[in-house]
Chains A and B, each alone.
Chain A
């Protein structure tokens, strides 16, 4: 089992819809979770971090964390074509500052 797993996609959604991206992780004691966005040919950039169970909202983005089920998700409301990118989930290894990234989910927002 991979440490951080994501569906590679592509996930296609129409413009204006909600895009839901999911990530599961294997280390039950993980505490720190991150979503990065990577446009094709570019470097990743942080969208959101989440540390506590529940939802965290930032503009059109909502991160959801469920530690009991070991998953973290990212919702993008009112999806725009400019949101088309690969979304990478990252989890910090407990007791370290080492981050494990998932393979990413490619999102395509159709105009």
Chain B
């Protein structure tokens, strides 16, 4: 089947506008992750979902950031009132995590990312 897909691939927006980023995980993957990667930097954890619940939202930078997931499917990351420092690549990943599994189930498969530029 297809890998993780993200849309849009590129987004240019004006400061203060809201943006919505979408992630379609691999079918059957229960865990879904959002990361932010600024130019030349590592991956910054934002949030992860197990099913449609989010056990850890600690990485969301501010209350302008929110995310939701429908069942074990699509997730959207919303950034309200965008700021220039929000400019980055937003990466989504999914993995097959089930209670009691490890090793193979922990492999994260990344989407191609959404490149966000806030002017």
B108 within 8 A of A: yes
Count chain B residues whose beta carbon lies closer than 8 angstroms to a beta carbon of A.
24
B108 touches A46 (CB 8 A): yes
Asked whether any CB of chain B lies closer than 8 Å to the CB of A98, the reply is yes
Interface size on A, residues (CB 8 A): 23
Tell me if A43 counts as interface (CB < 8 A to partner B): yes
B41 interface residue, CB < 8 Å from A?
A: yes
A13-21, A57-65, A70-78, A100-108: which lies at the interface: A100-108
Given contacts A43-B113, A46-B107, A92-B106, contact A97 B43 (CB under 8 A): no
Verify B107–A49 contact, CB threshold 8 A. Answer: yes
B110 in contact with A45 (CB, 8 Å): yes
Chain B nearest Cβ from A91, distance in angstroms? 11
B41, B48, B112: the one contacting A98 at CB < 8 Å is B48
| B100 beta carbon closer than 8 Å to chain A | no
Q: Which 5 A-B pairs have CB atoms at the shortest separation, nearest pair first?
A: A103-B42, A43-B110, A101-B43, A46-B107, A98-B56
A-B contact pairs, 9 of them (CB 8 A): A44-B43, A45-B110, A88-B43, A97-B31, A97-B48, A98-B45, A98-B48, A101-B44, A104-B42
Q: Which residues of B contact A (CB under 8 A)?
A: 31, 33, 35, 41-45, 48, 50, 55-56, 91, 95, 97, 102-103, 106-108, 110-113
